[in-house]
């Protein structure tokens, strides 16, 4: 028998109850609508910013600088990543602790001290009752930072930063310079080529999904990777070290004020070594007088003296006021405009040829030679050589040389007379090296530079021509005789043809020449296939009576040349590579 379904009779809702229900839901609807209006209109801007802060984050890349390397990729300067450790004691918490647990400072210090290598009591002193933002340690290595991370102690923060290191210390300081505590270039290439060395990182936004996953956007590939470029120098570190050590030894021996040595490729202006003394340790730059940061080899001027005589002889040949096989009478003294000029030893040498003029470094002979040239033409030549203009280079900003005004030079006979043996005008050591490079390479001006990306056309057709090839070769052969049988004989090396010239110039103060000297020696080699010029300048050796280019600067140059021969594997003269030498 089937059960009958129970019939439930629905009673109509009471009017009062219906109204209450209606009003209740109406209030809810209006409340939701009001909330919606508030979110969509009044709070829209705040909510939008909040959403952006959750969905995206701004990242700031570390400020870094490119490494500096030599021509063989040896490190000269590089950035090393280190860490600072900050502590916030009120948040100290160990893994496994409840969120409300705050560990004591002593407990944290006990775990940190073995890693940092700092005694417990020294670490405890750093806290000094502070509870927030305490710098515990600096210059923490990556290895130590990893060990600290593995502790997983809340309240410890590691801040990553980069610090500049110079592994070769004093050897390169006067070329490369240094960066200050704010990682900004402050001297040398670090300052002068700062735009090429520093990595221009930019601030970027990383968009994220609800689960924190980075979302695709229009960021470039370089936004997320490191910059692996470096500043490549033309310098050879082995030759640089050899030059620096030879120069330092001689400056110390003679108690000189400063010294400079350069080796340059005469075919393209690449500098293979550039040493300067006194120097400094760029890793501890704050310990030194700022005077040593200066690149005096391009910013200070000096009277080149006898090392300029080969340049003047080249000008005389160009103007055909002398012939290659000619002679000049050296009387030992000569009167010019009421001034008596003499040789360094006050003695005459009689009739001598032009190679011998260089061998004995005769001032009187040079005066007589250059007196054959009209002063205005002579001045124009010196101006063409760029004596009084700034030298273009990627090193320090150079100082223009000092040359008397043309009207003074032309109207006062003493001016061209003293200029004939390298006095009365001044140039930088770097400029002198450039001029001798032109003599060695066949007459072309090259731009001294230390970086491979220095923009210079190496095509001879676009280079400035200073001397003809015949004149350059002739003067180079004359300079070779100086090393073979003249004042530069101590620079002779068996099996190698070396051209050279010594120079000893008195320094002037308030227009009066003093006993203080600048000693120099310049060499070009090998004469059979000119490739390198070597210049050494030593300023104010203490024992001025025994100080000459041959005794002070030449020994340094010879040491450098010996190192250059080994490092560059320059072959000695053989029957196969010996070039015919003009008879002198």
Q: What letter would DSSP give residue 549?
A: I
Q: Whole-angstrom Cα distance, residue 489 to residue 492? A: 6
User: Quick one: 194 exposed, middle or buried, by C-beta within 10 A (0-12, 13-18, 19+)?
Assistant: middle
Crossing angle between the packed helical segments 142-151 and 105-116, to the nearest 10 degrees: 150
Please report where in the chains the tokens 């009003």 appear, as a residue: 23
Q: How far apart are CA 382 and CA 379, in angstroms?
A: 5
Write down the H helix ranges in 216-308: 237-253, 296-299
Whether residue 247 contacts residue 143, with contact meaning beta carbons closer than 8 Å, is answered with no
Please count the residues of the chain.
584
Euclidean distance between CA atoms 270 and 395, whole angstroms? 12
**Cα 158 to Cα 234: distance, rounded to the nearest angstrom:** 39
Is residue 279 flagged as an active site residue?
no
**Among 164, 162, 160, 183, which Cα is nearest to 85's?**
160
Q: Residue 77 in 3-state DSSP?
A: strand
Closest CA to 526 of 468, 573, 472, 574: 573
Q: CA nearest 418: which of 371, 478, 381, 482?
A: 371
Report whether 310 contacts 471 (CB < 8 A): no
- Classify residue 510 as left (phi > 0), alpha (psi -120 to 50) or beta: left
CB contact set of 142 (below 8 Å; sequence gap of 6+): 81, 83
Q: How far apart are CA 307 and CA 323, in angstroms?
A: 21
Beta-sheet pairing, 350-353 with 327-330: antiparallel
Q: Which among 67, 186, 279, 306 is annotated as catalytic? A: 306
φ, ψ of residue 502 in degrees (nearest 5): -85, 160
* Three-class DSSP category at 243: helix
User: Per DSSP, which regions of 105-177 are E strands?
Assistant: 134-140, 156-165
Cα dihedral value 554, 556, 560, 561, nearest 10: 20
The H or E element containing residue 145 is helix 142-151
Q: For residue 89, what are the contacts with CB-CB under 8 A and spacing of at least 6?
A: 102, 105, 108, 127, 130, 131, 132, 134, 155
> For residue 159, what are its two tokens?
């801040």
List beta partners, residue 339.
Answer: 336
Query: Which positions are catalytic?
Result: 306
């Amino acid at each position: 028998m089937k059960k009958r379904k129970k019939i439930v009779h629905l009673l109509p809702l009471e009017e009062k109850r219906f109204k209450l229900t209606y009003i209740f839901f109406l209030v809810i609807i209006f409340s939701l609508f009001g909330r919606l209006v508030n979110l969509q209109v009044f709070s829209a801007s705040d909510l939008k910013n909040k959403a952006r802060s959750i969905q995206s984050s701004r990242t700031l890349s570390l400020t870094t600088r490119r490494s500096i390397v030599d021509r063989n990729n040896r490190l000269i300067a590089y950035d090393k990543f280190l860490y600072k450790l900050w502590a916030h004691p009120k948040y100290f918490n160990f893994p496994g602790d409840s969120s409300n647990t705050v560990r004591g400072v002593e407990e944290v210090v006990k775990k940190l001290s073995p890693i940092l290598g700092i005694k417990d009591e020294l670490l405890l002193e750093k806290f000094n009752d502070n509870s927030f933002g305490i710098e515990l340690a600096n210059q923490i290595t990556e290895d130590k930072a990893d060990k600290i991370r593995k502790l997983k102690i809340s309240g410890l923060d590691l801040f990553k930063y980069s610090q500049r290191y110079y592994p070769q210390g004093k050897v390169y300081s006067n070329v490369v310079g240094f960066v200050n505590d704010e990682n900004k270039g402050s001297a040398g290439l670090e300052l002068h080529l700062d735009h090429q060395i520093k990595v221009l990182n930019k601030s970027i936004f990383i968009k994220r999904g609800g689960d924190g996953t980075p979302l695709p956007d229009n960021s470039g590939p370089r936004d997320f990777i490191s910059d692996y470029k470096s500043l490549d120098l033309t310098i050879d570190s082995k030759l640089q070290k050899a030059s620096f050590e030879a120069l330092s030894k001689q400056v110390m021996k003679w108690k000189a004020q400063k010294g400079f040595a350069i080796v340059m490729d005469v075919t393209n202006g690449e500098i293979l070594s550039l040493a300067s003394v006194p120097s400094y340790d760029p890793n501890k730059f704050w310990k030194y007088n700022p005077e040593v940061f200066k690149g005096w080899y391009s910013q200070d001027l000096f009277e080149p003296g006898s090392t300029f005589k080969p340049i003047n002889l080249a000008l005389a040949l160009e103007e055909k006021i002398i012939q290659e096989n000619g002679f000049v009478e050296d009387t030992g003294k000569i009167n010019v405009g009421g001034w008596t000029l003499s040789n360094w030893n006050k003695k005459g040498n009689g009739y001598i040829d032009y190679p011998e003029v260089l061998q004995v470094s005769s001032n009187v002979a040079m005066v007589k030679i250059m007196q054959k040239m009209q002063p205005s033409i002579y001045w124009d030549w010196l101006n063409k050589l760029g004596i009084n203009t700034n030298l273009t280079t990627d090193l320090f900003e150079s100082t223009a040389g000092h040359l008397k005004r043309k009207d003074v030079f032309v109207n006062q006979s003493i001016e061209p007379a003293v200029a004939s043996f390298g006095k009365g005008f001044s140039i930088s050591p770097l400029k002198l090296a450039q001029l001798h490079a032109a003599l060695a390479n066949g007459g072309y001006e090259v731009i001294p530079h230390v970086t491979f990306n220095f923009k210079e056309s190496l095509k001879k057709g676009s280079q400035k021509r200073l001397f003809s090839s015949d004149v350059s070769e002739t003067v180079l052969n004359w300079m070779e005789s100086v090393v073979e049988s003249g004042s530069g004989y101590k620079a002779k090396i068996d099996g190698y043809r070396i051209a050279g010239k010594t120079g000893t110039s008195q320094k002037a103060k308030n227009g009066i020449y003093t006993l203080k000297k600048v000693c120099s020696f310049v060499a070009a080699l090998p004469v059979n296939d000119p490739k390198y010029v070597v210049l050494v300048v030593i300023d104010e050796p203490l024992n001025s009576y025994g100080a000459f280019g041959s005794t002070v600067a030449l020994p340094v140059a010879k040491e450098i040349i010996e190192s250059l021969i080994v490092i560059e594997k320059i072959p000695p003269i053989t029957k196969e590579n010996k070039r015919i030498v003009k008879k002198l």
